[in-house]
Amino acid sequence: MSTTLTGQDESGITIVAASIQDDLSARMKDDIPPMTEEEARQAKLCQLCQLRDWIYTCPRCLIHTCSVECVKQHKQNSTCSGVRDKTSYVSLQKYTESNMMSDYTYLEDVSRQTDNFTRSRMEVSRDLKSKNAESRARALAKSANQAGIHFSYLPIGMSRSKLNQTNYSKNHKQIFWSIEVNFCRNNKRERYLEHSYPSNKPFYAFFENLLLSENPQGRGSYATIRHQLSDFIDAGIDQFIVALKKEKAPRGHFVNVTSVLDALFRDVLKDEQIIEFPIFYIWLKQDEQPSEVVVLEDKKQPLIIPLRDEATSDEQQETPLDQAISNEQQKTSSNQAESIEQTIEQGNEEENLFTETEKPSEEVVE
């Protein structure tokens, strides 16, 4: 994290630096003997040409020069870059306020560079995550639309969007849904959110896993859930009324999907509007309709066409239509075979006739 100096900080540093400088000056007076006049005169001269007093000091190697020509000559002779070495060693006797400020600036630059590097890595990571998320979202929407489900997202950051874990699996070639269920009884509503339910499983299996299975699949606290829903467990799934909340419709509009619980979950959602994940309300047939449900429409029985990869056995039962088509194909094949056989026999007869009539007579040699 970079640091910015305030006026109070700078004044404090200046006071400390002045104190250190006074201490160093006192030590230098005690330890360093005074220069002679010749040494003082030589110290003022350019260290390259020795003709004029020096004007410039190389930031890197501290060589004193008097002109631009001498500076260029110095860089050429010593291959000096002229850039100050911020980490070079400075003895305690030569350490001044400028050295201390230089060290502080150097540490501040290091901190700033570290902060910039961290930010750039975070931005790259965020961009990669964003691209991956967009790719997964497109795959999910495409798969849902192909299944006849009108699927859409909420803007990023909304609470429902954060809760949603619905995703499309390329390996399994199906959608794994987040499902919200609301069990309503005695003017109370118990809300649960389950994740990763496959779209190629019957919907009733969801309730069996949630309420009845000895080894439920999921991360929920099923013991607590079943304690809270004991009335529904005692009544049984056959006594449930299950309604799907209609999205992009007036408030309180639901679709009764009780009659299609045996269908695959994707068929239950077919032709319905889904935003992020489906929301269901469940109550018992003996109870009154929840106040949240204002209009309850019946779900049309979906046309279930099993996929080839969903066949339960290698041998599938033939429908009457399949049998009729098969019989017709066999009859056609039989008629074609008889026709071909008659043609072959007729050709053989004509060949024999040609042989008998056109065969030349043998000459008798006397």
At position 129, the amino acid (one-letter code) is: K
d(CA 147, CA 271): 9
Task: Let me know whether 254 and 167 are in one domain.
Answer: yes
Among 310, 330, 353, give the residue marking a domain's end. 310
Where is the domain boundary, 310, 335, 359?
Answer: 310
**Does residue 352 fall inside a structural domain?**
no
For residue 194, being part of any structural domain is answered with: yes
Through-space distance between the first and last CA atoms of the chain, rounded to whole angstroms: 131
In a domain, 1, yes or no: no
Domain match, 110 and 164 both: no
In a domain, 132, yes or no: no
| Same-domain pairing of 75 and 190 | no
Say how far apart CA 73 and CA 198 lie, in whole Å: 78
- Domain co-membership, 110 together with 163: no
In a domain, 151, yes or no: no
Cross-strand bridge partners of residue 176: 167, 198
Per cent of the chain over pLDDT 70 is 70
Is the Cα dihedral 274, 278, 284, 287 positive or negative?
A: negative
- Domain boundaries, position 173: 159-310
292 & 171 share domain: yes
Report CA torsion sign: 146, 151, 155, 161: negative
Per the domain annotation, does 228 fall within a domain? yes
Domain presence at residue 236: yes
- 104 in the same domain as 182: no
Whole-number Å distance between alpha carbons of 149 and 108: 57
Tell me, what's the pLDDT at 273? 92
* pLDDT tens sequence across 185-200: 988 999 999 999 999 9
Of 77-91, 246-260, 270-284, the one with minimum mean pLDDT is 77-91
pLDDT in tens, 32-71: 567 787 777 788 889 888 888 898 888 888 889 999 999 9
pTM as predicted:
0.51
pLDDT in tens, 309-350: 444 344 344 445 455 545 555 555 555 555 545 554 555 444
pLDDT at residue 15, rounded to an integer: 65
Q: Could you give the number of structural domains in the chain?
A: 2
CA angle 96, 101, 102 (to 5 degrees): 95
Residue 358 predicted with pLDDT over 80: no
Cα four-point dihedral sign 166, 171, 173, 174? negative
Establish if 338 belongs to a structural domain: no
Same structural domain, 87 and 209: no
Domain finish residue from 277, 292, 310: 310
Considering the domain architecture, whether residues 83 and 209 belong to the same structural domain is answered as no
If asked whether residues 200 and 77 sit together in one domain, one would say no
